[in-house]
Amino acid sequence: MFFMLNKEEKLRALLLDNRFVDWINNPDSPYAGFWLQWTGESAENAELADAAREFLMELRSAELAGETVTEETEVDRMWESIGGTIAERPTREGQPRRIIRKGYWMAAAAITGMLLFIGVTFFSESRHQLASVKKKTGQFSATGGISPEVVRYNGSEGGELVFLPDGSKVTLAKGTRISYNRLMNGKNREVTVSGEAFFDVVKNPVKPFYIYTRNMVVKVLGTSFRVTASGGKESVAVKTGKVSVFLKGQDLEQSGATILLPKQVCTYSKSTGSLVMDTAADRSKIEMEVIAKNGYDFEDAPIDTVFRTLEKMYAIPVHYERSAFFNSFITISLGSESLEEQLQVITRTIGATFSISNDGITIEPPK
Amino acid sequence: MLAGNFDKEWSLFKNGDVQALEAIYRANIQSLINYGEKINPDIDLVKDTIQDLFIELWRNRQQLSDIVLVKFYLFRALRNKLYRANSHQSFVSEGEMQLSTENLQADYVELSIVSREEETHIRQNLMQLLENLPQRQREAVYLRFYHNMPYEAIASMMDMNYQSTLNLVQRALNSLRKKFAGGKKLK
């Protein structure tokens, strides 16, 4: 029956397919292999998948923009009220001690070898801004051009691996949001986090990497670390590697930075508004699935498939004339270098050129 | 999707760990408020209901079973509580209310979309389109495309069978696509 439908009908059928939507929403979807192959089968499939993906991404952006953000103080107030009622009726059982989940540390350590854990508690300010802009104007154009700021949100149940254009990788726990300049072409590399995330940062002394939370700024000196938001505290805990922590509002390069080394914990104290040092990071309540996959490997794959994957990895549209590359196939591993380096390899292989702008990546066929 | 590992935080909470409950609360509170608001725009009622929900969870924790998808469980519990609160207020049964909102709003939405399009001649704003969907379609779209819940889960959550859920989302998609594709025609 499928072949008798017109394109719009086929597209709607795709949008109604649980497996297709899961593939778009969840990079680790078990259906990824199937859909990658399916999109590679014909130009029509690729076009359909393309249009369906675009629609779903716009839908998600619209939903994201429509979310109201509840202030951290309100979230705290609600929890205090819940906690208060719970405490009024003490139960006889003792409060069991928190079990330290060594397994997570080990699993994470096995992947990168170098870790740093950061715990924070609140939802980031950029979310407030996003929401307040929306609330004020009541308007949001989900389609009106690409904003230089990209928000990536993991609405799925498991962890989600996100690739940053500089080659760094972030695993987002469920419900986590990060935002950054889509091309990371500013003076520094800056990411705002709310939720839990594991970072694997590419070293670049010329372009330092900063992570912003509500009260803290973390400057990354080492290579990999993890950011978490859970429980009622804001803290940074280093497993290995090195970071410096500042209070927000402090001049970044001014004295007063706290350098954290492995097994040190730095906690933001609400009462004094300062950073408190401690040792042993094992009390952190981090629980996060670590994604074993570090990238995507292609062997003799249609170039189309590779571009589609890049789009998903970096949340950046790739524009190109499909017919010009209909017969291009490529063997490549994506995910271990910066976006630019990967584009260089790809375009050199297929004899094309590329440019990057706020509208995305444009691939030009050889002249 | 209902297969998988039991949620660890949930198991800890069931064993009396308040911190685990707090972690569950903090991980889901933003989504719960947003979802609740889609069912009942009275934000204070939504927040009160969420607080009650967590208090009840704590008190009944020993009777709770292990679950895989905490968010799904919480969404469903919140939904049930809100509908119960709703029907107390309006003295209309849940079924009647669903029927009326589903059927009556459809014509109105079509009309309002058409007239606005004529007025503005600009591409329809998806967000506006979403807000104009009948409430149950709106809810199903939100769960399916934003929270990536499969139809099986949505069906069980919204007390419908699989086919009706699919139909509900299909109707929503049809009206969304009609307006969206207007600006971007497929060749």
Q: What is the pLDDT of residues A138-197, one digit of tens each?
A: 222 333 333 457 778 877 777 788 889 888 888 887 777 888 888 887 778 888 887 777
* Predicted local confidence at residue B79, as pLDDT: 92
Read off the tokens for B181.
């594709």
For residue B174, the distance in angstroms to the closest alpha carbon of chain A comes to: 8
With a CB cutoff of 8 Å and minimum separation 6, the contacts of B135 are B38, B39, B101, B102, B105
In chain A, where does DSSP find H-type helix?
7-15, 18-25, 32-41, 43-66, 72-88, 102-112, 125-137, 303-314, 339-350
Distance of CA A290 to CAs A109, B32, B67, Å? Answer: 10, 25, 21
> Are residues A217 and A251 in contact, defined by beta-carbon separation less than 8 angstroms?
no
Measured at the alpha carbon of residue B155, what is the angle toward residues B152 and B156, in degrees to the nearest 5? 90
Q: What is the CATH number of domain A99-279?
A: 2.60.120.1440
| CA gap A149, A336 in Å, rounded | 23
Higher-confidence position of A228 and B68: B68
Query: Is the pLDDT confidence value at A324 over 90?
Result: no
* CATH T-level topology, domain A295-367: Phage tail protein beta-alpha-beta fold (3.55.50)
For residue B16, the distance in angstroms to the closest alpha carbon of chain A comes to: 7
For residue A335, the distance in angstroms to the closest alpha carbon of chain B comes to: 25
| CA gap A238, A114 in Å, rounded | 10
Q: Tell if the CB–CB gap between B183 and A143 is shorter than 8 Å.
A: yes
DSSP string across A260-283: E-TTEEEEEETTTTEEEEEE--TT
pLDDT tens figures, A142-159: 333 334 577 788 777 777
With a CB cutoff of 8 Å and minimum separation 6, the contacts of A7 are A44, A47, A48, A51, B186, B187
Confidence of residue A7 (pLDDT cuts 50, 70, 90): confident
Which residues make beta-bridge pairs with A203? none
Reported as type and span, the H/E element at residue A362 is: strand A360-364
pLDDT tens figures, A8-64: 889 999 999 988 998 888 767 788 888 888 888 888 888 898 888 888 888 887 787
| CA gap A317, A333 in Å, rounded | 19
Return the sign of the alpha-carbon dihedral for residues A8, A9, A14, A18: positive
Tell me if ipTM is over 0.90: no
Closest CA to A220 of A182, A193, A181, A194: A193
Instruction: Tell me which residue in B18, B30, B150 faces A123 most closely, judged by beta carbons.
Output: B30
- Taking the Cβ of residue A336 and every Cβ of chain B, the question of whether any pair is shorter than 8 Å is answered with no
**Domains within chain B, CATH numbers bracketed:** 8-90 (1.10.1740.10), 94-183 (1.10.10.10)
* Predicted local confidence at residue A236, as pLDDT: 67
Confidence of residue A292 (pLDDT cuts 50, 70, 90): low
* Predicted local confidence at residue A367, as pLDDT: 67
Mean pLDDT of chain A: 71
Q: Which residues of A touch B145 (CB under 8 A)?
A: 21, 25, 56, 59-60, 63
Mean pLDDT (whole number) for A109-119: 33
